[in-house]
Amino acid sequence: MNKFPENTAKQETTASSGEEAVSTNFIRSIIASDLKSGAPAKKVVTRFPPEPNGFLHIGHAKSICLNFGLAAEFGGVCNLRLDDTNPIKEESTYAEAIMEDVRWLGFDWENRLYYASDYFEQLHEFALRLIRAGKAYVDDLSPEQIREYRGTLTEPGRESPCRNRTVEENLDLFARMRAGEFPDGSRVLRAKIDMASGNLNLRDPVMYRILNAPHHRTGDVWCIYPMYDFAHGQSDSIEGVTHSICTLEFEDHRPLYDWFLDQLEIHHPRQIEFARLNLSYTVMSKRKLLELVREKHVDGWDDPRMPTLTGLRRRGYTPGAIRDFCRRIGVAKRESTVDVGLLEHCLREDLNESAPRRMAVLNPLRLVITNYPEGRNEEFEAPNHPQKSEMGTRKIPFARELYIERDDFMEDPPKKYFRLSPGREVRLRYAYIVRCDEVIRDEATGEVVELRCTYDPTSRGGAPADGRKVKGIIHWVSAAHAVSAEVRLYDRLFRKENPTGDRQEPDYRAHLNPDSLEVLTDCRVEPELGKSPQESRYQFERLGYFCVDSRDSAPANPVFNRTATLRDSWAKAGQA
RNA sequence: UGGGGUGUCGCCAAGCGGUAAGGCACCGGACUCUGACUCCGGUAUCCCAGGUUCGAAUCCUGGCACCCCAGCCA
C-alpha cells in the first residue's frame, strides 16, 4: 500500500497556470499585441504538430509547453496534429507514443486530435485550384535533373521544359498521377513561382510526389502525397490556427507558406519562429536518437539515459520538473545550449518536495555492534520527509548486524572527513551513536570486510547522556531485515558537452560515455522499499533520487534507477 | 558575388532612449540527526568602430562572428 498517491504515475499533476511566472518572451508579446489590435482573431489557436516518425524528446517538450501554455494563458486552445505526410517514415505506434507522452507531460488536447492526412482530400483540391490558376504544373524531370535545374545558393536556377504546359495537360497528368499510372519518382507537381529567387524554397518547390506506399491511416487510397511545405501551412489554415509557432529553420519557408495561402485566398495564420532547445551532454536530433537505438548504444527509446520523454520518465523525472525547466529556459531566437545542470536542478527541486525519504546501502559493508545483545531487535520510527510531517513516518528495524556504505568508512581519513574510521564515532541516522573499535579484513585480499563497533545506549534518538556532539551521520540498514535490490547508476550519455561540435572527432558516437551505466546487484534497502509500486520515486538519504524501474522491477527483485544524485559539497571539494 | 536569421555574466534570459531583472553554475558564510534542503552575501556596461542625443544595450552607419537554406524529409 502506497501512502503517497501523489508519488505515483497515475496521479501526476497536470499543467496549470498556478506555476509561477518568469520573464516574458517575444512570442507572448506578439500575441498580446495581436489580441489588442484584434489582428488575427479574438481567440488564440495554436497547435503542436509532430511527425509520427520517432519519439518525443525534451526539445519537443519546450514546444509543447510553449504551444499549450500560450493557448491556456490567453484563453485559447491548442490542437495536437500529427503531420503524417510521408508514409514511408511514419507509423501509428509512434503516433500513439506521442499522445501518451504529451498526456504524461500534463497537457490535454481534448477532442482536437488531428492528422495532416485528414486533409489529404482538401489539399488535393487546393492543388487542383493552383493548377487551374496556372500556378502549378506537372514536371517530368528526374530528381537529379530537378536538383541541377534548381541552381545553387549563388546562381539562379533554370526553368523546367515542362513549366509551360497547358492547364488541361497538367490536370490530365495530375489525375493520372493520382490514378497510379506512373512509377515513384517519375513525375511531381510543382508550384510555379520563381526559379531565380534568392530563397531556394521559392524555386518552383515540389508540392506532390508519387509514393506507391501504404499510409498508416489512409491505407492505399493515395499514391501521391503532399510535401510538408504544401501541407503544413494549409493544415494550420484549415484548423484556424492563429499563431503557428515553429523553429528557426522554417523562417525562410514562411514566404512560401504565405504564397500558397495568398494564392488560395484562405485564412492566414501568423508564423513565429523560435530557437529549438539544445542540451549539453546529449544529442537531440531524431536521426541521431534513432541511430543510438538501432545501433544498440542504448536500450531503446525509453533507455533512462535518453533525452526522450519516455526515457526521462523511466529515469524518474517528473512532468512537473520538465515543465518547470521549459518555463525557466525561456524562448528566444538566438541559438543556445542549455546546461543540463538546470534540468537536474528543476528535478531536485521537485523531488526534494515530493519524494519520501528511505535508507538504502549501495555498496554494503558489514557492521557489527558488539555490545548490542544478540537476537535483540528494535524499531525506529523515521519521518518520511524532514520538513513535511504530513508525509508521515515508517518503521525501520534495527539489530546487532547492519550494513553501511563502504564510502562511509575510511581507515586513514583525510582532514574534515567526519564519517567512520577506527576509533571515531558517527551517528547512525535515526538510531544510535557508534564507535569503530576494530576492522576485520579478508586474510587473503586484505579487503575490509567488517567493522566491529560499540554503541552508546544513551544516544537513542537524541544527544547522548554526556551531551557530546557527533558531526557525522550515516545511513544504514539492518542486515537481517534489509531487502536485496539492483540499482542502476546512470550518468550522462556523452562525455563531451557538445558531442556534435568536435572538429577532431565529428562522429558524435565517439563521445559516448562508456560509464553512463553502472549496475549494482548487491544493494540492500530498507524493508519498506520492498513494497514500492513501479515508477514510484524516493530519495535515498545522502545518495540521491531513485525510482522503481518500470520495465524490470519485480516485487521479489526490486530494481531502482538513479534519477539524480544529491548535491554533494564533500565530493565536489575533491575530498572523497 | 545569393537569401534568411542571431550577437547582453561560464550557461540560459529580461530590457523596446533614462542610466544592465531573474534563474542555473560558481565562491564565501549561517543552519542542520541527510556534508541534502533552507537562509544570507558576492560576481557583466551589453560583438567591434564611428555617429545622433543632455542621456544608447536600446536609434543611425559601417564592419566582424556565428547559425539555417541547394530532400520527390519534416
For chain A, domain boundaries: 22-276, 286-356+485-575, 360-475
pLDDT band at A5 (very low <50, low <70, confident <90, very high): very low
Q: Does A13 have pLDDT greater than 80?
A: no
pLDDT at residue A267, rounded to an integer: 96
Contact A476, A404 (CB under 8 A): yes
Q: Does A231 have pLDDT greater than 70?
A: yes
pLDDT band at A37 (very low <50, low <70, confident <90, very high): confident
Q: How far is the CA of A25 from the C1' of B55 (A)?
A: 27
**Within its chain, how far is the Cα of A217 from the centroid?**
27
Chain B positions within 7 A of any protein Cβ atom are: 1-8, 10-16, 21-27, 33-38, 66-74
Phi, psi (deg, nearest 5) at residue A472: -80, 135
Overall CATH class of domain A22-276: alpha beta
Query: Any catalytic annotation for residue A286?
Result: yes
Q: Does A402 have pLDDT greater than 50?
A: yes
Q: Does A6 have pLDDT greater than 60?
A: no
Question: Rounded to two decimals, what is the model's pTM?
Answer: 0.95
pLDDT in tens, A511-558: 999 999 999 999 999 999 998 998 899 999 999 999 999 999 999 899
Query: Any catalytic annotation for residue A416?
Result: no
**Long-range own/partner contacts, residues A30-33 (CB < 8 A, 24 or more apart):** A30/A243, A30/A270, A30/A272, A31/A70, A31/A74, A31/A243, A32/A74
**Which of A28, A270, A276, A460 is an active site residue?**
A276
Whether the domain at A286-356+485-575 and the domain at A360-475 fall into the same CATH topology: yes
pLDDT band at A4 (very low <50, low <70, confident <90, very high): very low
**DSSP H or E stretch at residue A60:** helix A58-73
Q: Which nucleotide is nearest to A430 (CA to C1')?
A: B33
pLDDT at residue A20, rounded to an integer: 54
pLDDT at residue A504, rounded to an integer: 85
Query: What integer is the mean pLDDT of A171-181?
Result: 98
Q: How far is the CA of A341 from the C1' of B11 (A)?
A: 9
pLDDT band at A39 (very low <50, low <70, confident <90, very high): low
Q: Which CATH superfamily is domain A360-475 in?
A: Ribosomal Protein L25; Chain P (2.40.240.10)
CA–CA distance, A239 with A564 (Å, rounded to integer):
41
DSSP conformation letters of A310-336: HHHHHHT--HHHHHHHHHHH---SS-E
Lowest mean pLDDT among A2-6, A26-30, A318-322, A441-445: A2-6
pLDDT band at A461 (very low <50, low <70, confident <90, very high): confident
Query: What integer is the mean pLDDT of A363-371?
Result: 98
| Strand B neighbours among A 266-305, CB < 7 A | 275, 280
Answer yes or no: CATH 2.40.240.10 is held by domain A286-356+485-575.
yes
pLDDT at residue A21, rounded to an integer: 55
**DSSP H or E stretch at residue A35:** helix A26-37
| Strand B neighbours among A 474-533, CB < 7 A | none
Indicate if CB(A21) is under 7 A from strand B: no
**DSSP H or E stretch at residue A149:** helix A143-149
Q: Which nucleotide is nearest to A144 (CA to C1')?
A: B72
Would you say the ipTM is above 0.95? yes
| Strand B neighbours among A 337-376, CB < 7 A | 337-339, 341-342, 345, 348-349, 352, 357
CA–CA distance, A48 with A326 (Å, rounded to integer):
15
Query: What integer is the mean pLDDT of A177-201?
Result: 98
